[in-house]
Structure 1
Amino acid sequence: MSRKFFGTDGIRGRTNADKMTAAIAMKVGQAAGAHFLRGDHRHRVVIGKDTRLSGYMMESALVAGFTSVGMDVVMTGPLPTPAIALLTRELRADLGVMISASHNPFEDNGIKLFGPDGFKLSDDDELAIEALMGEKTSLVDAPQIGRARRIDDAPGRYIHAVKGSIGSDIRFDKLKVVLDCAHGAAYEVAPAAIWELGAELVTIGNSPNGTNINAGVGSTSLDAVKEKVRETGADIGLALDGDADRLIVVNEKGETVDGDQLMALIATRLQQRERLRGGGIVATVMSNLGLERYLNGLGLSLERTKVGDRYVLERMREGGFNVGGEQSGHMILLDHATTGDGLVAGLNVMAAMVRSERPVSELTSLFERVPQLLKNVRYEGATPLENGSVKTAIRDAEAQLSGKGRLVIRPSGTEPVIRVMAEGDDASEIEQIVDSICEAVKAAS
């Protein structure tokens, strides 16, 4: 069955258009609720959101959907995606929902679903929910309609959990930290957690107004946090995205540290303490070849999956790994969370700074990146990857890179964009290869 609604990370689109309308959100609530009505207990769903203006509308529609099929609803208000995964387990809920479009602009929104174990749903579950969305909904009788309420202690529960991800002996009293919350879901909990651990804190991107999420701040707009690190002489900058499941670090020099270097650092520290499981880490096809070579030199493996943190997580669970993530900043530390958690990752990087008494620039320069170039090509209409000239350009590039680099071509799961990535030791050759494929895609679209 082909997917109509679900993409690589739940359902996402422009609000009041495409897939993100109140009517569709209510259908999602009804279908997901019906799918998880298992057993004779009183069923419960936890719903959280980020700070988008449309979150109110989507939340109300989802509440209507879930309660109409007999599920009780617990609403948390704005909280990070990993907090909803945590609370789904803690509250013994049957389902968790995060209303967020992550790093997208405020006009977009999305729906992410978690099972009772706090993990994102499988492909089979998503397909089953899509099938139910196309059927007539079985509404419960009036006495069985669900109830909805808000809980006030959700932020404190999450703060307590993330602080527990580092040793109880660790304090950040000697660190000055710039924290960029992207005007998003972590705007209250992330500053609170870091302040409670003793750091001198400079916070930006923590004044959400419903329309400024990810606007010039956050993990995809790093100029603001870099400037603030240089201006204040901070030891580290932490940039979260709109739902705080992603982290990009800025070192004390104002330079970007991507997810590959963070995974290398965390894996190395855990291996030194004999706590790394699985014999390596899991990342996606987008992670740099330099990371793979570095890990191989330590006798560790890098297992690759297709893009999407849910696919990284599936492989981690299958292979018994406890560290995985994406170059874009999703860090999954399974000892502490069931999904990517930017704040947990940030605290663990800061803990490594405290334990080693070394600056973050040294700790996160573990390997030399192989020249890598990624370009996005927007298209309209037919899928250009089916075009004969595009296929020929890709075959020629693969032959040119054979044995000395990698080529990854993939359509975005959330927008009409083809992503073209190549890497190898010759930067000029990589640029030529990427440009030739991009031109072929443009000509075909």
Structure 2
Amino acid sequence: MQDVLILGAGIVGISTGIHLLKRGRSVTLVDKNQPGRETSYGNAGIIQREGVRPHAFPRDLHTLMQVGLHLSTAARYEPLALPRIAPPLLKYWWASSPDHYRQVVENYAPLIARSIDTHAELIAEAGPDAEKLISKKGWYLVFRTLEKLQREAAKAEEDRARFNIHHEVLDWAVLKALEPSLIGGLAGGIHWTDPWTVTDPGGLVTQYFKLFEKLGGTFVSGEASGLTQDGVYWQTRVGGTLHTARQAVIALGPWAPEVLDKLGYRLPLFVKRGYHMHYKPAPGAALNHLLLDAEVGYVLAPMARGIRLTTGAEFNLRDAAPTPIQLGKAEAAAKEVFPLGERVDPQPWKGARPCTPDMMPIISKAPKHEGLYAGIGHAHHGFTLGPATGELLAQMMTGEATAIDMKPFRMERFLGH
């Protein structure tokens, strides 16, 4: 018998386990894969302190036409998937209206504000092998046109005043001096100075998992046979062994509906799939900082394995076969500004970002069951918010006052309560 059973060993599940162990709880973590090998693994490696504005559904006609006609690199959709994904996407579109979105940003900002502090705590406790993966130089949002750079710079000034987020605006000459290998085609950029970047996101999650084990956590490798309640206890069976605990946490990311639906929680979740590929730089070239090409929609990030190119969002079914279209477009666009060399990976990595229609995660007690909690739906910010989510869930589960107001993140908002 354990105190807590956590399903899902991504960054959210591991972080939740660490924070519970530090509060004296015994924890069993269950996953069919190795810890941190799914969505936590394939990201741009940014701890996005500046990310107070979650990705809204586009509402301007130009962008909608670009996506609708499959001309966009930042987003694409699979037509055959539309009948199943259209209902949550319509809710996503509605929540992205200016009035709704302003409230989303206000609710979201306090959560993002916890990102650096909660990562810093785990990094310090995980030790030198975690610390060596971290860069505190920020990252660069780069633009191909001066008009769009100026528009985003105005938003950045607003975020500095409202949320104490810091930045510098750079013209092309300054950007070129920082990144001499850039070819051209850019007007300048915004240097977000508060965020941290990571040279191996999967490696950092591995270090957090080692901390989980060091603190006395138990990991069970295997596929859980759902989750059931027996009186006041929660239980799951893995490989013929029954695991029981007083509390349970669902941290399964895009696989959460497979457990939640059976417990009566049919939430309007959907996925944004994404891809990455590593490259060698062309001979004599080097990339010193993480760049996000804002007007095209991909990231170039210097990583331990090479230069990682990450794509935007693919709206498709979670388990549909991978499609190379977006990565090919992003690769061609990236080569316009930086001399990428040969591919390093034999195949592109594919993952699925778990999303909610209102762009905010569910960090919540389940309203119809005692002792059941969920930390899911972090979309593009799962890596950023994993430790903060773990801290907040542990505070809720142990009766502590939470670091921020959790009402905006309750599951009830999607259940008509």
**TM-score grouping bracket, smaller chain normalisation:** under 0.3
Give the TM-score taking structure 1 as reference length. 0.23
Structure with greater strand share of residues: 2
Give the TM-score taking structure 2 as reference length. 0.24
Question: Quick one: higher RCO (CA 8 Å, sep 6+), 1 or 2?
Answer: 2
